[in-house]
Structure 1
Amino acid sequence: MKILGILASPRKNKSNTLDLLKEALSAAQGHGFCEEIIHLCDYKIEFCRHCEACHKNILSCPIKDDVRLLQQKILEADAIIFASPVYIHHITGHLKNLLDRSSHFIHCQRLLEKYAAAVATSGGGPHDMVPEYIKQYTTACGARYVGGVSTAVPLDKEIKRKAYNLGVDLSEAIKRKKIFPVEEAVIQTQREYFKQVIMAKKEDWPGEYRYWKEQGWI
């Protein structure tokens, strides 16, 4: 089983956010999971143009960059830890661009039965908005959000311990196939909403309509 760490900091190995991510992943390794860290700044990720090509033909896109590769890595993982520093009260632009290019993941709940978590750091100001945003995004995609750890720098032993424990919780949730009832209810409510959208757009979005039919949701 594999946990994918997605680092949204442009500072790479100098990143405090990476340090927290590594703490969580080290716990996962101790529970028998393999792990991979992606540095988003190493990839070309352009803005979404809202052409709807990925809805018409699943995961197709006229933009020639690295997003398709990154999406495939996400789809192949059992869990994803999103790691971002706070940039003006939000995730970094690298990560925002990637998530903006994944509306198909929301329409078709492509992270269903996968698990997700988040870590974040700030230079000294607020930081809890990043895990909250990741929770909203991953739940919208159908994932089971285990939790998040965020802090202002510098990092101390206590926050590193929390990040490690997050990795433990994530690993145990995957192994036990843990269900979070409140989130499951949100996922089901969203599926009912998008059922109406997909049915109304079946002529415009044939790819997603076929996907829903294959899943037995319509």
Structure 2
Amino acid sequence: MKILCISGSPRGEHSNTFRLVKEAVAGITTAERGVSVEYIHLGSLRMEFCTGCGTCHRKLLFCPLKDDVAPVLHSMQEADAIVLASPVYINHVTAQLKALLDRSSPFIHCQMLTGKYGAAFATSGGGPHAMVLDYLKEYLVSCGVQYVGGVSGPMSRFDTLKEEARILGADLAKAVKSHIAYPDQLSYMEKRREFFKSVISSRKDEWKGEYAYYNKKIAGFKT
């Protein structure tokens, strides 16, 4: 079982959000043996902003920007479960995490992470935080990832959040091992596939990479 943990905090291993992730991993490794865990701290990587050039749609996931994003996207494809974590910066994820997600739009267009499971974590200084989990859930499910759950809250509740994170970690391990299905999410994914099937088909001469992926992996087009 491969678990990928991506932290969007610029504080890296010293961030409170990452401390929650470590608690979740403790829950995972307690519940399941033989787990491989990869941690990625986006704050230590060089990441350019998406320029909207569309190359990743024409040449699936290829980006002309030369930075550290491609290996992260590869790790997301290789993992069985993906954990996304971010402190709350003005009611949203950090710029680091948003920059990564903006560079992964083929994941959404083609649901390239289908079959994986996910969870999310967010911490705030005391203000609102639930909207970050909502956003990360929407992102994961749109990519084809079944969302097991999330933990968020202010740092004043950190001891409680740690316990919730451990429980969520165990639930995530169980979902991966038992291939648990979330019918509402699967139904939403199906609707999204139909939507992007139409979009990609209408631009098949321009988005050749995504069109070819749909024909091979998802089917439903006539070439």
Q: Is the 8 A contact 1:121 1:153 kept in 2?
A: yes
**Aligned runs of 1:187-202 on 2, under 5 Å?**
187-202=189-204
1:162 aligns with 2:169: no
Aligned partner of 1:141: which letter?
A: C
Which residue is 2:210 aligned to? 208
Aligned partner of 1:211: which letter?
A: Y
CA distance in structure 2 between the aligned counterparts of 1:129 and 1:41, rounded to whole angstroms: 22
**Aligned runs of 1:1-218 on 2, under 5 Å?**
1-30=1-30, 31-32=32-33, 33-215=35-217, 216-218=219-221
SS at match of 2:168: helix
Q: Is the 8 A contact 1:7 1:18 kept in 2?
A: yes
Deviations 1:85-114 (A, max 9, x none): 000000000000000011111011011010
CA distance in structure 1 between the aligned counterparts of 2:112 and 2:82, rounded to whole angstroms: 13
The normalised TM-score by structure 2 is 0.95
CA distance 1:155–1:37, shift in 2 (3 Å): farther
Q: Percent identity?
A: 48
- Structure 2 stretches lacking a partner, 5+ long: none
Cα distance, 1:155 vs structure 2: 4.4
Q: Is the 8 A contact 2:56 2:106 kept in 1?
A: yes
Runs of 4+ in 1 over 3 A off after TM superposition: none
The normalised TM-score by structure 1 is 0.98
Cα distance, 1:154 vs structure 2: 3.3
Paired residues, what number? Answer: 218
Deviates more, 1:11-20 or 1:87-96: 11-20
**TM-align CA RMSD:** 0.9
Q: Is the 8 A contact 1:16 1:155 kept in 2?
A: no
Q: Is the 8 A contact 1:115 1:174 kept in 2?
A: yes
Aligned partner of 1:17: which letter?
A: T
CA distance in structure 1 between the aligned counterparts of 2:5 and 2:93, rounded to whole angstroms: 15
Cα distance, 1:217 vs structure 2: 3.4
Q: Is the 8 A contact 2:115 2:144 kept in 1?
A: yes
